[in-house]
Amino acid sequence: MNLVFLGPPGAGKGTQATRLTERMKIPQLSTGDILRRAVAEGTDLGKKAKELMDAGKLVSDDIVNAIVELELMRPEAKGGFLLDGFPRTVPQAKALDEMMARRSMKIDHVISLEVPAEALVDRLAGRRSCPKCGTPYHVKSAPPRQPGICDKDNTPLVQRPDDQPDRVRQRLIEYESKTAPLNDYYKTKAVIRPIDGTKEPEAIQKQIVKALGV
Ligand code: AMP
């Protein structure tokens, strides 16, 4: 099954995507994680992306399209995948359609996590992640077993630079103007599954599993 996760920053895409891919045994392809790794490693890609990411702005379509094209070539992606954080613009969605058509594949479901704007700033402020393995946490809704420490590899958790309040505002502006129109784009293709993202993580996962029938 080939899946796309849509939703504003802070909707819980990463958390839900991780749970679902573990259940379905398919790779989670997160453009945000790939870009953050490139920034941490100081590669050419990382150098190009860092300033935009830190400012809460989107990286260019050409860069992320090329990343996804490479990810889809990985053998693990042949049996299905979950795209987390891509597409984020209508041109990216069109590029994805073309990538799929070239491989005689299609996107089976687009999960749209819906959370009202007021709740998002709070959620982002409490968000932490593991700088080593990328596992997402939230101080209230998805805390690690030991405060501030990753359950998987005992690394101290960090807050992303773009989760600071002024960057969060910029990311929400980017979302409204560039990403929200994707809901209409996918409605015309009848693959969109709206999910109430205001509930507890466990309840949200149940809704997703039910909507996909997995
Ligand atoms: P995320 O972890 O998905 O919130 O992504 C973090 C940041 O990476 C975003 O704010 C963008 O700067 C960049 N990014 C991730 N995915 C994309 C994408 N599909 N298009 C453009 N920029 C992206």
Residue with CA closest to ligand 1 atom 12: 53
Of 121, 153, 117, 157, the residue nearest 139 (C-alpha): 157
- pLDDT, residue 62, reads 96
**Pocket lining: 59 vs ligand 1, CB cutoff 6 Å:** yes
- pLDDT, residue 198, reads 94
- pLDDT, residue 190, reads 77
Of 28, 11, 1, the residue nearest 180 (C-alpha): 11
Domain boundaries, the chain: 2-27+74-212
Q: Is 160 a catalytic residue?
A: yes
Pocket perturbation via mutation, ligand 1, pick of 33, 36, 58, 175 by most ligand atoms within 8 A of CB: 58
Q: Is the pLDDT of residue 46 over 90?
A: yes
Q: Is 2.102.10.10 the CATH number for 2-27+74-212?
A: no
Give residue 34's pLDDT band: very low, low, confident or very high (50, 70, 90).
very high
Contact, 98 vs 46, CB < 8 A? no
- When pLDDT is averaged across residues 20-31 and rounded to a whole number, the result is 96
Interatomic CA distance for residues 99 and 91, integer angstroms? 12
Average per-residue pLDDT for the chain: 94
- pLDDT, residue 164, reads 84
**Pocket lining: 172 vs ligand 1, CB cutoff 6 Å:** no
Give residue 106's pLDDT band: very low, low, confident or very high (50, 70, 90).
very high
Straight-line distance from the first to the last Cα atom of the chain, in angstroms, rounded to the nearest whole number: 10
**Pocket lining: 85 vs ligand 1, CB cutoff 6 Å:** yes
Work out the percent of the chain whose per-residue pLDDT is above 90: 78
- pLDDT, residue 81, reads 98
Interatomic CA distance for residues 68 and 80, integer angstroms? 14
Give residue 118's pLDDT band: very low, low, confident or very high (50, 70, 90).
confident
Interatomic CA distance for residues 76 and 27, integer angstroms? 7
Per-residue pLDDT tens digits for 127-178: 899 989 988 888 988 899 999 999 999 999 999 888 888 888 899 999 999 9
Interatomic CA distance for residues 196 and 156, integer angstroms? 31
